[in-house]
């Protein structure tokens, strides 16, 4: 048997072992993939959810309705409670041991459209991406195993079919990102399985970056300032209660100058949870300070 045949045989063996643990989630037109990690529980990306109930497609052709047990929109993870019946669970490998050149096999069941299995190599570690709400998620693995749209939420595994990461983003040009399956991820998944969503401070605003804010202020004859432009305010949000309105320019939070979305997330994370967050903003030409509960 030559090397190509050996590779094909290895991929086929992994498909037979890990394929039954790879499911489709959502519906035939909108959704992604998921992983059976425990009896009655499926792990997927939070961006694959569209409501509290979600359809799950198993490799044996069975379909079932599931319910979200816990979701972390910022970290792009969710655990679905569903009757997994005889679907095998996928064992945990050591995603923290991955390095450039490590071989990986990617699996997906795009929106229940059938199992796909490909192979590639780790092309980068310690990467970051933006979660569905814009928060920076660090510690991702970049790899080259090709994936169809709808494969996010599916696994990358090693030659033994053990979980190394959860696919989440297609970067284009043949590169993909996966959240590494390490101890920290396992703890997060366990908490979501118990319905314990992480508590993170949030303002409840839609924002435009500093360069857009400078351009828009210049266009209406206002002085250019670095900051984040408030494009919309969620009704009933902490920002709305504090009096922040569309068009405000956030320039400081918790005493820290704000010039990027990461600056704001860092200020929110560092601020004491039991105290209001001091926010400084500019409304037109007037500088104001507000306190966000």
Return the active site residues.
47, 76, 152
Residues 6+ apart with CB under 8 A from 113: 24, 28, 150
Distance CA 49, CA 68 (A): 8
By the 10 Å C-beta count (0-12 exposed, 13-18 middle, 19+ buried), 108 is classed as buried
Helices and strands counted in the chain (H then E): 5, 18
Residues 6+ apart with CB under 8 A from 101: 121, 122
Residues 6+ apart with CB under 8 A from 277: 201, 253, 254, 267, 268, 271, 291, 292
By DSSP bridging, strand 175-180 and strand 136-143 are antiparallel
Find the Cα–Cα–Cα–Cα dihedral 73, 77, 78, 84, rounded to 10°. 160
Tokens found for residue 177: 């990102």
DSSP for 15-35, written as a single string? HHHHGGGEEEEE-SSSEEEEE
Find the Cα–Cα–Cα–Cα dihedral 243, 245, 247, 248, rounded to 10°. 20
Distance CA 79, CA 92 (A): 16
Longest dimension (CA), the chain: 76
């Amino acid at each position: 048997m030559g090397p190509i045949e050996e590779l094909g045989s290895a991929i086929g063996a992994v498909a037979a072992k890990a394929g039954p643990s790879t499911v489709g989630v959502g519906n035939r037109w909108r959704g992604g993939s998921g992983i059976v990690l425990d009896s009655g529980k499926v792990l997927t990306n939070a961006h694959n959810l569209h409501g509290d109930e979600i359809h799950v497609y198993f490799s044996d052709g069975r379909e079932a309705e599931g319910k979200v047990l816990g979701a972390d929109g910022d970290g792009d993870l969710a655990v679905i409670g569903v009757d997994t019946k005889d679907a095998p669970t996928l064992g945990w490998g050591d995603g923290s041991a991955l390095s450039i050149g490590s071989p990986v096999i990617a699996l997906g069941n795009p929106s229940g459209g059938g199992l796909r299995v490909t192979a590639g190599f780790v092309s980068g570690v310690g990467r970051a991406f933006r979660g569905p709400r814009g928060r920076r998620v660090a510690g991702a693995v970049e790899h080259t195993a090709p994936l169809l749209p709808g494969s996010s939420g599916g696994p990358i595994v090693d030659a033994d079919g053990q979980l190394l990461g959860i696919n989440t983003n297609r970067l284009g040009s043949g590169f993909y990102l996966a959240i590494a399956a390490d101890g920290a991820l396992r703890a997060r998944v366990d908490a979501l399985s118990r319905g314990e969503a992480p508590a993170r401070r949030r303002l409840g605003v839609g924002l435009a970056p500093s360069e857009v804010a400078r351009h828009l202020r210049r266009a209406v004859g206002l002085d250019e300032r670095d900051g984040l432009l408030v494009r919309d305010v969620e009704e009933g949000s902490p920002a709305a209660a504090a009096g922040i309105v569309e068009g405000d320019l956030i320039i400081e939070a918790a005493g820290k100058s704000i010039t990027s979305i990461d600056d704001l997330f860092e200020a929110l994370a560092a601020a004491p949870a039991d105290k209001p967050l001091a926010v400084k903003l500019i409304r037109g030409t007037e500088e104001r300070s507000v306190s966000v509960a």
